Each structure stands twice: as C-alpha cells, then as structure tokens.
Amino acid sequence: MYLMRRLFYMSLFLLLASCSGGTVYDHYNHTSVSGWDRGEVLSYEVPRLNKTSKYATMLGLRVSESYPFQSLTLIVEQTVLPEKKMKRDTVNCQIFDSQGKIKGQGINYFQYHFLVSEADLKQGDSLHITVRHDMRREIIPGIADIGIQLSRQ
C-alpha cells in the first residue's frame, strides 16, 4: 500500500512538471542510495532547442532520510553546443534547516528544486550538462536521484 501511494505521488509530480508549457527538458538520473561516489559524474543531453529565448536551468534532488548532512554541494557544468561554451556553477543545496528539520516535500524520499542558472540560448543550441558532488566525504549516502530541468522563461 505504501509503495503504491508513493508511486502515485511521484507520478503525479512528474505529470504536473511535464505539463508546464515552458519546460523543454526534464530528466533524472539515479544514484545508489547506499552511496554516490565522488567519481560518478551524471550526464544529461538536452536536444536542440526550437526557439531563441532565455532559459532557466533547475536542479532536482530526491533525498532519503538517511542523508547525513545539512547541505549538499554540487558542481554543475553546462556546455552549449555547437559553440562549446562552458559554464560551471557551484550549487549549495540546503537539505535541512537550522533546527535539523528536512526542508523537502515527501515521505521517506524528499524532493527539492534549486535554480542553477539562467542563459540566453539560440534556436538550434543544445546542451551537455554534468553534475557531480563536491563534498569532503568520498561516498555520499542518501541521494536517490539528480535531475535537470530546462525551462523557457
């Protein structure tokens, strides 16, 4: 019963996120909940854009209760093709507030969204995006999924 309810809410969230008119890309990659290794770089390939516009890149996280730290620092590198123009952002994701309460939405797995950057992109541009963690610990437990969403503003 619990699993069915959780799957229902995750499906509903994905459906609502995909229905937003400005979203042009939304994809999650899984990590091992037992530990995301520093050397494991997650990659995302955003296909060619249909319109020239300003776009926002969002980072999505799904974190379990077993995550042991207050925050998570991620390095997001975006390469705009065909120009091969690269931009690197460091995103500090607050998982718990100062009182130790989890800030995300959910039950057992908590959903978060963080703005990475905004950029003017041209019709025909595509993006190659990578995400890796920048924590002192080599292996980080409790991170289930990392997602990238690109939306037209």
Cβ atoms of residues 61 and 111 within 8 Å: yes
CB contact at 8 A, 59 and 76:
yes
Scan for tokens 């991170």, then name that residue: 143
Q: The sheet that has 105-107: what strands, in order across it? A: 23-30, 143-152, 53-64, 109-121, 105-107
Question: Structure pTM?
Answer: 0.82
Q: What is the pLDDT of residues 102-140, one digit of tens each?
A: 788 888 889 999 999 999 999 999 999 999 999 999 999
Instruction: Name the token pair of 44.
Output: 């995302």
133 neighbors 37 (Cβ within 8 angstroms): no
Q: If DSSP codes are grouped into helix, strand and coil, which group holds residue 12?
A: helix
